[in-house]
Structure formats: C-alpha cells, structure tokens
Structure 1
Amino acid sequence: MIGRLSGLVVEKQAPEIVLDVNGVGYELQVPMTSFYELPELNQQAMLFTHFVVREDAQLLYGFITKQERALFRLLIKTNGVGPKLALTILSGMTAAEFVNCVERDDIVTLVKLPGVGKKTAERLVVEMRGKLKSLLEASVGSEREFALQSNYKPAAVENNAEEDAIAALVSLGYKPAQASKAVLSAYTDGMSSEVLIKAALKSML
C-alpha cells in the first residue's frame, strides 16, 4: 500500500497531477480542495494517498491532509459511492461544508453535485451521520501537512484558464454545457484556472 508520496509537481491538469518521486512519475487524481493548495510546477509537495485496484485499472488518489483522505475513505464505504463520486464530492465542497450538510440533513445542496441523486444524498446523510464529528474536530487547527518551498507563489495565470477550468469540471462529472456556463459566469480577467474552478464550483451549489 502506498500511503504517502513526496516529490516534485511536474504536471497539473485538474483534477490530475504527476508527482516526480526520485525520477518516477506517479499519476494521482486529486480533489479540488487539495488541488487548490498545490504549489506551482517543479516545486516540492507531499500528499497522503489512497490506492484503488480494479480489474481494468490501478488508480492513485492524493490528498493534502490525512483528514481529507479519511473523509474520502468514509465516502467510498457508503453504498453507491465509488472513488470517482467521492472525488467529485470533495471537489465541490470542503470537509466542513460536507459535515454541515450531513448534520443539517441538507439534501438540496448535496444533489447539486453531479452524480448525487436524491437517494444517494439521503443515504449519505443517514450512513455518515455520527461518523464525521471526530473527523472534523481532528482537522480544526491542524497545519497543512505538505511540503512547500518557502518562496512559494501562486502559479502564473495561463491564457487557457477557461478551457482548463471547463475540462476539469467535465472530468469531475459536470455536463459540458453546465460547466461552460458556470465558468463563463465566474470568469474575470486575470483569474488562474484554479481560482476559476473554485468560483465555478461554488456558483453551482
């Protein structure tokens, strides 16, 4: 089992990255909550990982904190929730926001996430109620547990921020028309793709 990786971020195409660990490039799928906090290319990062083996693929998921990984693992134990849907949920809201939805029986917000129907939302609320409080408390006040260079600066804004944002949302399960509309509505001059994705996701909840 691969529990943690530390290396250079050599590729970033949300929600996927490639982490170079001593010359070996590991492809990881990362929820947007973790993706937002990654350094720019060729800087050091450390991620906690979860390895999924299927008949047709071996997939590695990366998370900035142990708490995010723990929530991911709780989600995929829920009936009807696989790794892809868990990644979408963690991309659409923070751990604290998800806990609030569960505690308030907020089915309306949960069903706005792609792939989460009413029955799945109700199942999440029922099965995860009582399991999340300790998880959230453990994350409060904790430092982000990944290595960044001391001179870290946000990645430079790219000209194709809109295209990258739309592609990221589609890969997370949103329909192309829905993703395009959200991105175009949220975009303002100078936005990086990461900031744009975050704004577009928030606008759809």
Structure 2
Amino acid sequence: MIERLRGILVDKDAEGVVVDVSGVGYRAAVPVGAIGSLPPLGEECVLHTRMVVREDAISLFGFATKEERSAFDALTAVSKIGPKLAVAVLSMLSPTEISTAVARDDAVKLATVPGLGKKTAERVVLELKGKEFAVFAPVGVTEDGSAVNEQGGGGAGAYMEAREALTSLGYSLEEAEQALREVPEDKAVSVESYVREALRRIGSRR
C-alpha cells in the first residue's frame, strides 16, 4: 500500500499530478484545491496517498494533507460514493466543511457538489452522522456531536433557518453563508436578528 509520496513534481493538470520518486513516475488523481497548493513543476512535493485496487484497475489518489485523506476515506465508506466522486466532493468542500455539514444534517450544502445529488448527500449525512472522522473534526461541534454556529450563538438550527431565509430571498448559498459568518455572536441571538444583520452585511457590499 502506498501511503505517501515524496519526489519531484513533473506534471500536473486538471485531473491530477505526476510525481517522480527516484526515477519512477507516479500518477495520482488529486482534488482541485490540492493541485493549487502544490509547488511549481520541477520542485519537490509531498502527497499523502490512498491506493484503490479493483479487478479492472489500480488507482492512486493524492492529498495535500492527512485531513483530506481522512475525509476521502470517510466518504468512500458511504454506499454509492466511489473514489472519483469523493475527490469531486473534496474539490468543492474542505474536510472541516464536510464534517460540519454532517454534524448539522446539512444535506443542502453537500448537494452543491456537482454529481452528488440530494439523495446521495442525505446518505452521506445519515451514514457519517455520529462517526468519528479520524484526523479532522468539525469546527463548532461539541464532543457529543451537537452543532453550534461559528459565532457560538443560536446553534445549528438558527444558522440553517437564517440561511434558508436568505436563499429564499434570492441570495446564493455562498453569499448567504459568507454574510452569516460575519454576524457577531451578540447579534445572532435569534433567527430574525441573524437574518437582519446578515442582510446589512450583504447590502454594505453592494
């Protein structure tokens, strides 16, 4: 089993990279974010890897951090999610965003990944809920698995309701989440104040 590669980065494209390790070139599929964090061609790099062996193919997947690899392992343990779809999820969402979405029962967030779909996103939440994610842990989630918002205010329920209210007003999911993250704790005491303060921040940017 290949767990880690350290060598010279000799090629990279939208789907993956090639790392030369002592004259042997290893091709690995990597998330988009990992590609962007790698050094220029010709320089040394390190990839944390996972090798997937099937009857018809042996594939290598690479990650910039152990947290990404741990998230990959968790996702591929979910029924109907293969390695390629897991990489697609990690190309859109960070390990912390994934684990926080699971803790919040936030299938809507997961379903923003192209190819995942609502039913599969709900399956991710169902099958990973309450399980430990080996290396990474969600921000704003207590030891018993219950979630709070990033500011420590009204909890996951208030956050989800406020986000739903903003998207129903026509704002994108990304725009709503950015605004909600900027609301200070003392202003997030209720869904109404949460939404009102978020709207002020959206308005100030327009």
Q: TM-score, normalised by structure 1?
A: 0.63
Contact 1:67 1:138 in 2 (8 A): no
How much identity, in percent, do the aligned residues show?
46
SS at match of 2:37: coil
Cross-structure match for 1:95: 95
**Mapping of residues 67-146 of structure 1, within 5 Å:** 67-132=67-132, 135-137=135-137
- How far residue 137 of structure 1 moved from its aligned partner, in angstroms, is 4.0
Cross-structure match for 1:41: 41
Contact 2:29 2:60 in 1 (8 A): yes
Rounded to whole Å, the distance in 1 between the matches of 2:95 and 2:22 is 32
Cross-structure match for 2:53: 53
Contact 2:20 2:26 in 1 (8 A): yes
Rounded to whole Å, the distance in 2 between the matches of 1:57 and 1:84 is 13
- How far residue 110 of structure 1 moved from its aligned partner, in angstroms, is 1.5
Aligned letter for 2:17?
I
- How far residue 133 of structure 1 moved from its aligned partner, in angstroms, is 5.8
Cross-structure match for 2:22: 22
1:137–1:125: structure 2 CA closer, same or farther, 3 Å change rule?
closer
Gap regions ≥5 residues in structure 2:
140-206
- Answer with 1 or 2: which has the greater Rg: 2
Cross-structure match for 2:10: 10
Rounded to whole Å, the distance in 2 between the matches of 1:71 and 1:136 is 8
Gap regions ≥5 residues in structure 1:
140-205
- How far residue 109 of structure 1 moved from its aligned partner, in angstroms, is 1.9
Rounded to whole Å, the distance in 2 between the matches of 1:69 and 1:83 is 11
Contact 2:74 2:133 in 1 (8 A): no
Contact 2:89 2:113 in 1 (8 A): yes
Contact 1:18 1:28 in 2 (8 A): yes
1:40–1:94: structure 2 CA closer, same or farther, 3 Å change rule?
same
- How far residue 132 of structure 1 moved from its aligned partner, in angstroms, is 4.6
Rounded to whole Å, the distance in 2 between the matches of 1:138 and 1:57 is 34
Cross-structure match for 1:165: none
1:48–1:138: structure 2 CA closer, same or farther, 3 Å change rule?
farther
1:43–1:56: structure 2 CA closer, same or farther, 3 Å change rule?
same
SS at match of 2:135: helix
Question: Aligned-residue CA RMSD in angstroms?
Answer: 1.9
What number of residue pairs does the alignment pair up?
139
Aligned letter for 1:108?
V
Q: TM-score, normalised by structure 2?
A: 0.63
Query: Higher relative CO (CA 8 A, sep ≥ 6), structure 1 or 2?
Result: 1
Residues 100-109 or 78-87, more deviating:
100-109
